[in-house]
Amino acid sequence: MKRRYPRSNVNPATWVMLIATRQDTHPVTADEVMLKLHDAFCQLKAGTTDDDFFDRLASCINVGLVRAEQIDPVCVAPMVAWRDALIRCDGIRGRHGRYGFDGPGLHAMTAGLEVYEEMLRNSTPQQMAEAAATSYQVTLRQAAAEQRATA
């Protein structure tokens, strides 16, 4: 008698996706992300007025800070310096109408991008997604606290 195994109701692609989320970020994906971030950095250095470039870097800083805290405190310092440099960059935009960096900000941005790239390349997509979700929750809590403070 031929033995039959019950068919699974789970989509076979689900297993592939689950395994993929537990592997390091694919190099092509990391390259694409970093290309966009370096482009945004170059545009801000060049004095763009486009807020999308600023927002792209700001969102990555928030995710990077969360991920850095999960890894090691050594990773946190360059990310904080990156954040502070971007805050000063926004201040320059407010004063001069264009984005720009001061000298220490340029160095902090370069170091922060390097740390972010290492975290991205050596983290799984699931870890980065969890850091993004945590970052989003922190942002919501901060916005709610600001609303309560102004009310």
Q: How many residues does the chain have?
A: 151
Please tell me the distance from the alpha carbon of residue 139 to that of residue 52, in angstroms, as a whole number: 18
Whose tokens are 């008698």? That residue is: 1
pTM more than 0.85: no
Q: What is the token pair recorded at 144?
A: 């709610």
Residue 4 is predicted with a pLDDT of: 65
Residue 25 is predicted with a pLDDT of: 82
Regions of the chain short of the pLDDT cut 50 = none
What does the mean pLDDT of the chain come to? 90
Residue 2 is predicted with a pLDDT of: 64
